[in-house]
Structure 1
Amino acid sequence: MKKILILLAAAFSYTAASAQTTWSVDKAHSNVKFTVTHLMVSDVDGIFKNYDATITAAKPDFSDAKFQISIQTASVSTDNDQRDKHITSPDFFDVATYPTLTFTSTAITKTSDKHYKLTGNLTLHGVTKPASFDLWYRGTIQNPMSKADDAGFQLTGTIKRSDFNFGSKFGNAMVSDEVTIKANGEFGKAK
């Protein structure tokens, strides 16, 4: 009987330790931004207003985390109506044909305390390619309003437009091939 209880306790401990927790993005305290260089002399910033993101992880340091991000391309804003109309057109995002941009992580590797390399598949403009980003886990804290746990992250990195056949009519002299990505995310633990 004692052996059975020990086996049951071990099985319960393993199940509890490997249980996945889901975290959902708090859009009021998060953002997804990008920067390109115009005419090789001036940076132009943009933001996506409509997106969703979730994290699943079993470990409290998120070293086994899986990220899923989906962005509605029509929600792009560069704070200029004429430019926004152009970048949602077939010249760039072609939002009628490609309404979403997605990232699904495939691996996470710890590089130092609270810093990771996050790798996954990025789908933009109908093209899926591997992409890697730097991820800073900023910590977890109990939200004094909701009494639930909130975790903070910052994701940074660079992608190339040419890898995704994005804005191919416009060369590097007009709009930089490199696009800098920066996302700040606050995620609430599912109850």
Structure 2
Amino acid sequence: MKQIFSFLFIAFLSTTISAQTTWKADKAHSQVSFGITHLGISEVEGRFNEFDATIETSKEDLSDAKYTVEIQVPSIDTGVEKRDSHLKSGDFFDAEKYPKMTFVSTSSKKVGEGKYKVKGDLTFHGITKPVTLDVWHRGTITNQNGELVSGFEITGDVSRSDFNLGPDFPEAVLSDKVVIDVDAEFKKQ
């Protein structure tokens, strides 16, 4: 009897483990970007060129998905080299001391067809804060190489003051709100 129970437990565990699906960001078809209001009249946008992102789920509807993103802060790119150097400095990101930014989800709640509210911990500039992001699963297809690919848009905003980012720059110069926009294709592993 013990052997039968052990066999069933192992079979159940194997099924549970094999049901876990991992998706990795296809960096050639993905971007991590941000926007901030400058002087109250214009939007300055930028991106991070180096990042890794993974989604793990065991449910087909992605309601239990776990999102993990790691961004290399020195890869910041606003299209203006002088501004990028300033953003990497101690006035803002202090990229030499804090070279990584991470997001690790703690929960995912389905709120509509293909729509989710994802809560998690965002860490950068030596500070970790909880944030809530909106996730839109655009769909899943088989690409020209026969690979299963899913598209996601992840949006939200954070307060730069929560992360002590540019504390010497008042809101009249740079808005406190920073808009995050991730548009990515993920390949099933």
1:16 deviates by: 2.7
Aligned counterparts of 1:96 and 1:152: Cα–Cα separation in 2: 33
Identity %: 47
| 1:84 aligned residue | 84
| Counterpart residue type for residue 170 of structure 2 | G
Aligned counterparts of 1:75 and 1:95: Cα–Cα separation in 2: 9
Task: For structure 1, list consecutive stretches of 5 or more residues without a partner in the other structure.
Answer: none
Tell me the SS of whatever aligns to 1:163.
helix
| Counterpart residue type for residue 183 of structure 1 | V
TM-score normalised by the chain length of structure 2: 0.92
| 1:34 aligned residue | 34
| Counterpart residue type for residue 69 of structure 2 | I
Aligned counterparts of 1:47 and 1:185: Cα–Cα separation in 2: 13
Moved more, 114-123 or 59-68: 59-68
1:164 deviates by: 0.7
Q: Does 1:152 align with 2:158?
A: no
1:17 deviates by: 5.2
* CA deviation profile, 1:28-54 (whole Å, cap 9, x unmatched): 000000000001111000000000011
| 1:93 aligned residue | 93
Tell me the SS of whatever aligns to 1:177.
strand
Q: Write out aligned runs for 1:127-146 (5 A).
A: 127-145=127-145
Aligned counterparts of 1:160 and 1:42: Cα–Cα separation in 2: 18
| Counterpart residue type for residue 46 of structure 1 | G
Task: For structure 2, list consecutive stretches of 5 or more residues without a partner in the other structure.
Answer: none
1:143 deviates by: 1.5
Aligned counterparts of 2:75 and 2:119: Cα–Cα separation in 1: 25
Tell me the SS of whatever aligns to 1:172.
coil
RMSD (Å) for aligned C-alpha atoms = 1.8
TM-score normalised by the chain length of structure 1: 0.91
* CA deviation profile, 1:89-133 (whole Å, cap 9, x unmatched): 100011010000000000000111100001000001110000000
Tell me the SS of whatever aligns to 2:174.
coil
| Counterpart residue type for residue 176 of structure 1 | S
Tell me the SS of whatever aligns to 1:116.
strand
| 1:171 aligned residue | 170
Aligned counterparts of 2:89 and 2:75: Cα–Cα separation in 1: 13
Aligned counterparts of 2:59 and 2:13: Cα–Cα separation in 1: 13
| 1:47 aligned residue | 47
Tell me the SS of whatever aligns to 1:28.
helix
* CA deviation profile, 1:119-152 (whole Å, cap 9, x unmatched): 000001110000000000111111122x121111
| Counterpart residue type for residue 123 of structure 1 | T
1:165 deviates by: 0.7
Aligned counterparts of 2:114 and 2:10: Cα–Cα separation in 1: 30
